[in-house]
Structure 1
């Protein structure tokens, strides 16, 4: 047995040496996760301390679960939790199907030049920062120079302060997010659509199935594993609504409907120096996301047979 094991070790070593180029490509990714993900996780210990920036992590007083207990005692916590869940659900229900629908439509375009032009135009907003996108939407919805209000006043209506109206805030967040990311989200689905066997469509046409029928009988079932995996990943990040996006539109008039965990952590934790309390919120978000992705993964495995692991 020992001789067999001794022979196996040199073989593995030779395999690594032979394929060192492939493994060297993994190193930057590993370093990224170690430096920016795993090492910062050690800082979560301040959620169990009365952290003082001058005393540091090693000399701050441990208080156990004090900040987690206080978390559920703050009235603001439930307001922020409600806003986070509502906006996330809107983004999930309206934003998740959008790239699927767009990919199905693009897949039917036969003129390759026209298709590539459309794809390029749709991908472009993804590369714009939220500062630019936020400025575009704020100007578009401006009560004085915005195109939308120009149309409203043209038909005899009164200008609307969209960004300052709580009733419109969540719609603006969801619609701007879809506009920015829907094109980029089609990439994976278009790749999945390209892998479908064309003979399936030919057989369906011979049986008299139209385009609409083919979508539900062939296309969607074929890309269902891709949809399921991306949906599970989205469920796991349901507590993350996007700090940059919401912060660009957030103002004191819409705090009641627009402030989410990400902006609350910035305002209270960084600007208010309540590092321990907001770290506890961050851990709470992570635990909820972990539970949701585990539960959704098990449901997906039983219902569709597709899962992350």
Structure 2
């Protein structure tokens, strides 16, 4: 930081200069705004000068506004997923993982890791969950299997405390989960192995779960996008299919506790619904005009 007395006094100037220095290091405006918000909190709780505090807060809001103008990395990733085929592409990657596992040594750690990736991806196609929740699911609790080889999923979200679930999972999903469960053991032993592993983590098959971010990191290795992007992708599918009813469906599917939690999705869906209504109305008006001509 330059040897300038102005840098020693918290102010709007200090906030802007800090932001400029961070921007020169290719740090995005949203991150700069978060850093300045931390400084605001520190000054507020530390009894900082009110005028200086207001100056830093104004600088922080400046970078908040800048951040809104900069496209999110997520937008580019979601667009790439859609261009590759969306959930069709994701399910193809599940198939690829299954094929890759066949080529790896049986009972090897790498083979198990590939099967874990396939299981996470196919489950997210059924019901996109937050990475922390995925990491903590347990066999026989959140993720259950019955004697008819049918898996079901229901859990309480860590972030909201709100219960959600996918019910009975797709047959293809059940097959992928069985393969992860068995790890090359005969299929006839599936229910026995499941019973033995009840209460253990579904990914590690041990009492302790992986790190909360681990499922997302594994998905990112396979897709080039974190797990949370699949939640956004799912919302986009719903919004494009039925924009009028999308807000409520998205809230239920993503497990939002309130409509406010998905405000961005709601705004997009309502915009799509309005555009669709206008297209329909315009077509009706055009038909009336032609009939009178």
Superposed pair shares fold, TM > 0.5: no
Say which structure is richer in helix: 1
TM class by shorter-chain length? under 0.3
